[in-house]
Amino acid sequence: METGVGSAGAPARVAAAVLRVLDRLLGSLAGLVLATMLVVVLAGVVLRYGFKTGLMGAEDLGIWLHIALIALGAPLALNGPLAMRLDILVSRLPPLPQRLAGIGADGVSVLAGLVLVFGAGAVMEMVGGTSPTLGVPEALRFGLPLLGGAALLARLVLCRIAEGDIARALAGPVLGVTVYLLVGHLVIETSWPPSVWMALVAGLGLVLSAPLAHAFLAAAAVAIAFGSSLPAPAILSTTVAGLSKFLLLAVPFFLLTGALLTASGAADRLVRFAASLVGHRRAGLAQTVLLTGVLFSGASGSSVANAAFGAATFQPELVRHGYPPAQAGAIVAATSVLDNVIPPSIAFLLLAAATNLSIGALLTGGFVAGGLMALCLAVAIALTAGDHGRMPRVGRDVQLRAALSAVPAFGLGLIVVFGIRIGVVTTTEAAALAAAYTLLLALMARRGVPGLFGVFRQAAVEVSAIGLLIGTAAPFAFLLAVDDIAGVMQSVVTLLGGSALAVLLLSNLVLLALGLILDIGAAILLIGPVLLPAAVAAGIDPVHFGVILVVNLMIHGLTPPLGLLVYVVSGVTGVPASALFRAVLPYLGALLVALFILSALALVFRP
């Protein structure tokens, strides 16, 4: 590897060996914590319905375990798609500027790690007492991010040494430490509110290709110099508070459900059922991909999980039947958008946590929106995909057998959606039951325990990356609230006439712009509470508006420069992301048509 500092040598080999041990340890512990979380929540459900009692402190224990899971797994998401790096700009720079940008990105990550370590240490000194339900010192909850921050710093340095880049291993930490020390003593007078400076610094971190969650934390620290009301301890406590919601435990369980569904073979049975229904139509194989995406959406709740599954399963098959590789990947990426709209949906969970909207009502709205999006995609596929891959029409008996084989997967959707909608269980409990159900399916399929633990470990890493983003968005959201950005948005809407049409136009334009530079989850957490009050004031149904918001932002899974779903498909298939972005344009247009229809319906059906 050419680094400008000589060959790797012994330090690189030692660092690589230590890094493997650290990664294995963190991954295994994170997987174990996820399994323990599942047991705790399931025990609460069993005790309540089976024995008319409860598990003392189960909710608090679940929240503490969730924080521990994120602290252990987040350092592992330093690289790869889950880091959510905006690297499309840096990758086009000449070698020297690219190297300097890499050092800057490392500095951002180091600054984020220092905020976690020293912010948590300060909070631990200030917090006293014990948890009333768990009977352990309350300060321990803040010790978990301290360990996570230390692991992040250690892993970053080990990665650079293992790459043979000793200079970068030193330069990044020096830069991060220097900025951390400076922001604690600098006072910069400015007329701009701290949230604006925080946004600018976070944007700089993104341009340097730093992980998005690290950019948020680093920006919150730098904003202190511009008058932010959140010192480092408050940044940390706000981050932890953003994660301390029992509803958010549903996110790891839904991600685990999707992974176990694939491991159990139930996902393959959904594919066969979908093929029996639409495989004989024009572009039959592509339509099968779409219908499978609809069916898989009712189980996993994760677009990333469906994109990875579809890229490995369908893209090669589409290519074998005559589709160009880029078009095949684009079809997979476009249909994966549906997973975060059709219930269960992690995106709706995040929106409900950020705005207190009814999760049951949001999920019902997601059915309608998902059906409309699927219909628009079906038309686009029929018009653009040609007649490749048409399968022979099968008889009703074959369809019936395929349907019966897919019944276990359909049972999963019933558990989740009806359990939540009827109110029998909470959203988190429904997600835990879904995970337990798919775990049982995997065990019945005779998947080995080591293999299943690997599923838990991988799901834990994905959960940690998403969880860290949720937590680090909390300080940003707090400053937006303090600076009354929602009031500013309301003033702009008033200038435009204050009508429902003005709100929808402005909101969609803002969301379409922010979605280009922000991760979907971060945008939901940050902009949802800002736009919702203006929508309610204009007489728009808040749940309908929430559905529009999620659909708008999910479309950005296909748009450059972030386009996470495109990058996932590209990583699995090896098709260049640039080619996929071009090939996905017809399907992107179809989804924009669905967004337009949903927005128009919001004007027609007003409360």
pLDDT at 302: 64
User: Does residue 115 contact residue 232 with C-beta atoms inside 8 Å?
Assistant: yes
Residue found under tokens 């948590």? 120
CB atoms within 10 A of CB 446: 8
Longest dimension (CA), the chain: 75
pLDDT at 482: 82
How far apart are alpha carbons 567 and 246 in whole angstroms? 31
Domain edges within the chain: 9-244, 248-447+483-604
Axis-axis angle for helices 485-495, 520-537 (nearest 10) = 50
Strand partners, 137: 130
pLDDT at 2: 42
pLDDT at 150: 96
Question: Reduced to 3 states, what is the DSSP secondary structure of residue 137?
Answer: strand
Instruction: Using CB atoms within 10 Å of the CB of residue 97, give its burial: 0 to 12 exposed, 13 to 18 middle, 19+ buried.
Output: exposed
User: Mean pLDDT, consecutive 10-residue segments, the chain of 607 residues?
Assistant: 53 93 94 95 87 83 94 86 74 90 96 96 89 87 93 96 93 96 88 89 90 91 92 92 85 82 76 73 77 70 69 77 87 88 83 86 89 93 74 75 76 69 75 88 78 88 83 85 74 72 88 77 82 88 94 87 77 80 93 95 82
pLDDT at 8: 58
pLDDT at 113: 96
Question: Which residues lie closer than 8 Å to 564 by C-beta, 6 or more apart?
Answer: 81, 84, 304, 519, 520, 557
How far apart are alpha carbons 248 and 109 in whole angstroms? 25
| Three-class SS of 354-406 | HHCCCHHHHHHHHHHHHHHHHHHHHHHHHHHCCCCCCCCCCCHHHHHHHHHHC
Contacts 24+ apart (CB under 8 A), 564-567: 564/81, 564/84, 564/304, 564/519, 564/520, 565/303, 565/304, 565/307, 565/333, 565/336, 565/337, 566/329, 566/333, 567/81
pLDDT at 287: 82
- Report residue 126 as tokens: 């200030």
